[in-house]
């Protein structure tokens, strides 16, 4: 069973945390199941960038990404080459390390 290590985030998860994942589950699903309040303004439909995260370890073990995810990611705050939308990135068999960016861009509330 792969594990997801969420690095400390000063508001959402100050101590960070490591959680077991079910193979085939998304990063967002692991977060929400463990009461990590990761934003997901479009309810996981790949239409916002609020669930943006950066994969610090295990990036290539995740499912591939679509052109639509790529387009949405372009709007994310703090975009990096190993950024993913946590609602789209499906966990494989490898442990991963995830950074939740300090800010997100929520066009719904701005």
Minimum CB separation from ligand FES for residue 41, in Å? 6
- Give the footprint of ligand FES on this chain (CB under 6 A): 40-42, 44, 46-48, 50-51, 72, 85, 87
**Residue 23 or residue 71: which is nearer to ligand FES going by CB?**
71
Buried b (16+ CB within 10 A) or exposed e, 15-51: eeeeeebeeeebbbbbbbebebebbbbbebebebbbb
**Residue 1 or residue 65: which is nearer to ligand FES going by CB?**
65
**Residue 51 or residue 62: which is nearer to ligand FES going by CB?**
51
Provide the pairing of β-strand 3-6 with 96-99. parallel
Minimum CB separation from ligand FES for residue 26, in Å? 9
- Name the nearest CA neighbour of 55 among 26, 75, 15, 23: 26
Minimum CB separation from ligand FES for residue 14, in Å? 23
């Amino acid at each position: 069973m792969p594990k997801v290590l969420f690095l400390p985030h000063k508001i959402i998860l100050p101590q960070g945390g490591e959680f077991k994942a079910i193979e085939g589950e998304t990063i967002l699903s692991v977060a929400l199941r463990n009461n990590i309040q990761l934003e997901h303004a479009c309810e996981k439909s790949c239409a916002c960038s609020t669930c943006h995260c950066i994969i610090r370890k295990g990036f290539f073990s995740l499912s591939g990404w679509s052109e639509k995810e790529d387009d949405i990611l372009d709007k994310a705050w703090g975009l990096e080459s190993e950024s993913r939308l946590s609602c789209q990135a499906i966990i494989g068999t490898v442990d991963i390390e995830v950074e939740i960016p300090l800010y997100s861009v929520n066009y719904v509330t701005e």
